[in-house]
A and B are shown apart, each in its own frame.
Chain A
Amino acid sequence: MIRVALIDDHALVRAGVRGELEESENSDVEVVAEAGTVADAIDAIVRSKPDVVVCDVHLPDGTAADVIAGVVDRGVTSRFLALSVSDAATDVIHVIRSGARGYVTKAIEGPDLVNAVRRVNDGDAVFSPRLAGFVLDAFSANLESPGNPELDELTAREQEVMRLLARGYAYKEIARRLSISIKTVESHASAVLRKLQLSSRNELAAWAANRKLV
């Protein structure tokens, strides 16, 4: 069983997500903790040591990034999946850069959510079409102003994988399309996530300013 902590400030949403996680077909997910604020979330995660934390981007007293920062020094090895309705690109990218392994919107279907949790638990990255779009945006802004060594460029193949994700393709469809294995698609996605997390804060700020988000 994958042990999951659920962080969202709306009890109704938590109940809904819990239902989708535990009652989906072939689900091997068990919700072991719930919390609605950053402070409660940190306590709950440190106490219950879940495998995966499914966390809303915005909480009443902070963001998912604050939760990640709050537990990272306390011997917690949980992996994070951001789950949210619809947020500004900068907020989502910030949470990813803080260490979340993926971002999905709440419109996701139950079985897909279970799959996303499984994938995060395996240490892989989870890209929703929207996150793939945000990522392409961030890296293409960098292409327009070259000479920024701090933001690694995406390889042609990684870009291709991101485009297909943004176009709504599932991993196995991408694998079929590019004639590669699902494992290879996963490693491309993980590489993109790593590049995003290592890239400099300034680059992303410039990108956000380009899009007039700040």
Chain B
Amino acid sequence: MTTDVHRPRWQIPPLNRDERILGGACHAIATELGVGPLAIRLSFVILVLAGGWGLVLYGLTWAFLSWAGPSGAEAAAYVPEPKGASVQHRYAALGLIVGGLILSLRTLGFGFVDQIVFPVGFILAGVLIAWNRQQTEGGVTAAVRISAGVLVAAGGIIAVAALNVNSWEALRLLAIMIVVLLGLSLIVGPSVARIGTELDEERQERVRADERARVAAHLHDSVLQTLTLIQKHSEDPKRMAQLARRQERELRTWLYEPTPEQPGTIRLGPALDEVADAVEHDHQVRVEVVTVGDSLDLRPESIDDLVSATREAVTNAAKHAEIDRIDVYAEHRPNAIEVFIRDAGIGFDPDDVAADRHGIRQSIKARLERHGGRATIFSEPGQGTEVELYLPLNETTTRPAIADEPQPEPENQEDHMDPETLMTAGGEHP
């Protein structure tokens, strides 16, 4: 599911199993609204104070979300849209809703006695604060948080006991509550735990099934189709090899290539693989692409010309080198990209290429120089050819080259040096 699919303003959020404290309902609501989970959790606790309704509401919400909420792939595709104009608006709205609920519920007069409800509420609040750990939190902050939680809970109990009833009464109530809670958890605890595990297992099974379906769909669209094509072309070995290589490259990309994390950016490896694929399709050659350091997303505008220049160089080799294998090596560093296109074919004398030949000068050199880079061609008859492309990656990559001040072209001098020095110089560019 992509972002351009229409998304309704309100969605039923999935229960979050990883971040949950009880059933994950608070976290789900918080995600959908765009507020912190602690805010929703405290809201429910405050509602517990209003005659115990928080517990009932929580139970109903959880049941509704686990019944109607998305799961598996749908849950993975869930993208919440924050509500309200700003964060402040969201919290203000939440506060008003909770306040309104408390007032109306208390006015209606339903609910449990304050003597029970208040201590329970404060204890819950304390537990919540203590449990609301952050992932980056160190030991000291955690200790402070837990102490604060315990203090709130204890303070709540004492305050209620002191104000409303005599402390003996409050302690007695507390003791009764604890006994009842212990008894309840002994009775229903194991079965609740079992239901929880079964739910988890079922969910994992569903995730696995979704994954299987995704892989099967991909294999059907790609590998099975190609195998069918290969059967049809069994009398044409070249076409078969071509189909097989194209499929291999596609599958390898799908399996191992990292996909760009930011929309609108590209990665060098897959872009060069595409070039290799296209040239293999048009000419009877093998193009081996090796990419190093391809872990950064790139802006297409700074890279399009590099990729096009590479395509041009590979195509030239495929057309003129009279050899069936071309190696492309790209090294992607933080501040520059270098691409080498190399064949062990017949080679040529760069001085012999007429100056009005557009192939090399326009489509390769000019493309790089436009971005402050350079293209260098090393070749001699019988010794193969190597094209070296260098593109610096900084703000000058998008600046057009100044027309009346041409970039220095080191290759002009190097062209007349002997091959050894030449090659070493080629490997030493910054």
Chain A positions near chain B (C-beta within 8 angstroms): 85-89, 107, 129-130, 132-133, 136-137, 140, 144, 160, 163-164, 166-170, 173, 176-179, 210-213
What is the distance, in angstroms, from B347's C-beta to the closest C-beta of chain A? Answer: 13
Query: Given contacts A168-B326, A168-B329, A178-B424, could you give 7 more A-B pairs where the C-beta distance is less than 8 Å?
Result: A86-B256, A129-B288, A136-B331, A166-B329, A168-B342, A210-B295, A211-B294
Enumerate chain B residues within 8 angstroms of A87, measured Cβ to Cβ: 256
Enumerate chain A residues within 8 angstroms of B329, measured Cβ to Cβ: 129, 133, 163, 166-168
Main secondary structure of the interface of A (DSSP, over half): helix
Residue among B251, B294, B327 with the most chain A CB within 10 A? B327
Q: B255 touches which one: A88, A170, A211 (CB < 8 A)?
A: A88
Contacting residues of chain B (48-78) with chain A, CB-CB under 8 angstroms: none
> How many residues of chain B get a CB closer than 8 Å to chain A's CBs?
30
Residue contacts A-B, CB under 8 angstroms, 27 given: A86-B256, A107-B286, A107-B288, A130-B290, A136-B293, A140-B333, A160-B427, A163-B329, A166-B292, A167-B340, A168-B288, A168-B325, A168-B326, A168-B327, A168-B329, A168-B342, A169-B342, A170-B344, A176-B420, A177-B419, A177-B420, A177-B424, A178-B423, A178-B424, A212-B258, A212-B295, A213-B258
| CA–CA, A210 and B258, complex, Å | 11
Enumerate chain A residues within 8 angstroms of B252, measured Cβ to Cβ: 86
CB 8 Å contact bits of B256-271 with A (1 = contact, 0 = none): 1010000000000000
What is the distance, in angstroms, from B428's C-beta to the closest C-beta of chain A? Answer: 8
State whether A164 touches B427 (Cβ < 8 A): yes
Instruction: Tally inter-chain residue pairs, CB-CB below 8 A.
Output: 72
Query: Which 3 A-B residue pairs are closest in the complex by CB-CB distance?
Result: A168-B327, A133-B290, A177-B423
What is the distance, in angstroms, from A28's C-beta to the closest C-beta of chain B? Answer: 25
State whether A167 touches B386 (Cβ < 8 A): yes
Contacting residues of chain B (277-305) with chain A, CB-CB under 8 angstroms: 286, 288, 290-295
Chain B positions near chain A (C-beta within 8 angstroms): 248, 251-252, 255-256, 258, 286, 288, 290-295, 325-327, 329, 331, 333-334, 340, 342, 344, 386, 419-420, 423-424, 427
What is the distance, in angstroms, from B80's C-beta to the closest C-beta of chain A? Answer: 25
Enumerate chain A residues within 8 angstroms of B293, measured Cβ to Cβ: 136-137, 140
What is the distance, in angstroms, from A167's C-beta to the closest C-beta of chain B? Answer: 4
What is the distance, in angstroms, from A2's C-beta to the closest C-beta of chain B? Answer: 26
What is the distance, in angstroms, from A27's C-beta to the closest C-beta of chain B? Answer: 21
What is the distance, in angstroms, from B422's C-beta to the closest C-beta of chain A? Answer: 9
What is the distance, in angstroms, from A92's C-beta to the closest C-beta of chain B? Answer: 11
Beta-carbon nearest neighbor of A129 in chain B: B290
| CA–CA, A107 and B326, complex, Å | 13
State whether B295 touches A211 (Cβ < 8 A): yes
State whether A140 touches B292 (Cβ < 8 A): yes
State whether B419 touches A133 (Cβ < 8 A): no
| CA–CA, A169 and B419, complex, Å | 14
Enumerate chain B residues within 8 angstroms of A176, measured Cβ to Cβ: 419-420
